[in-house]
Chains A and B, each alone.
Chain A
């Protein structure tokens, strides 16, 4: 039972354009959502998070949107840069600090 799903295994965008990565979840008990970025041979690096009491959180070029009724969240990166090329994982947890459930990941490629 995949509770967190990233349906797009890969995404390719041009430098300077917007990248939109999507994530869907099924467990209505999830109340904290995170995005991680992963480069090859490194561990996932925390990028941005959002709690279920909010619908938007912004940090520089990165914005996460949460639609609780649709059980959907998205990560917007604008403008995209070649250094953003990595695998992006969506994750969710039910209570603060408890186990994270990860999506399958989306490989983002930003072309110069």
Chain B
């Protein structure tokens, strides 16, 4: 079974550039989560969607960050303009909310480096 698929796996770009991270959740899952992992703050939730609708975006650090989920099989996280402090590993996860207490399943992440 295909898991959560993220692309690209690595991204290196110069500050000021737009960065777009992509995620394909597990088929049939109706909740999607974006996390960021840094040395200082660990794994923190940025935003999550339920049935393609953003439910909680309180973790999005600032207006430079935006996320969309145009359909059940695709989501993007965009940073514009990017800054060096955005360098981190970004994970996407999905889960099924049709049943209670279902775990989230993670992709392998995008390692982002802003120079």
| Residues of chain A at the chain B interface (Cβ within 8 Å) | 32, 34, 36, 41-46, 49, 51, 89, 96-105
Contact = CB atoms under 8 A, between A and B. Distances in A.
Contacts of B109: 42-43
Contacts of A46: 103-105
Interface in B35-71: 42-45, 48, 50, 56
A89 B91 CA distance: 14
A104 B42 contact: yes
- Interface residue SS majority, chain A: loop
Interface in B80-113: 91, 93, 95, 97, 100-109
Contacts of B108: 41-43
B33 A99 contact: yes
B72 interface: no
Contacts of B4: 43
A103 B48 CA distance: 19
Interface of B: 4, 31, 33, 42-45, 48, 50, 56, 91, 93, 95, 97, 100-109
Nearest to A97: B97
A106 B58 CA distance: 27
Nearest to A36: B106
Given A42-B108, A43-B109, A44-B91, A97 B102 contact: yes
Contact of B100 (A36, A43, A96, A101): A96
B45 A97 contact: no
A104 B45 CA distance: 13
Given A89-B43, A97-B31, A51 B103 contact: no
B68 to A, nearest CB: 19
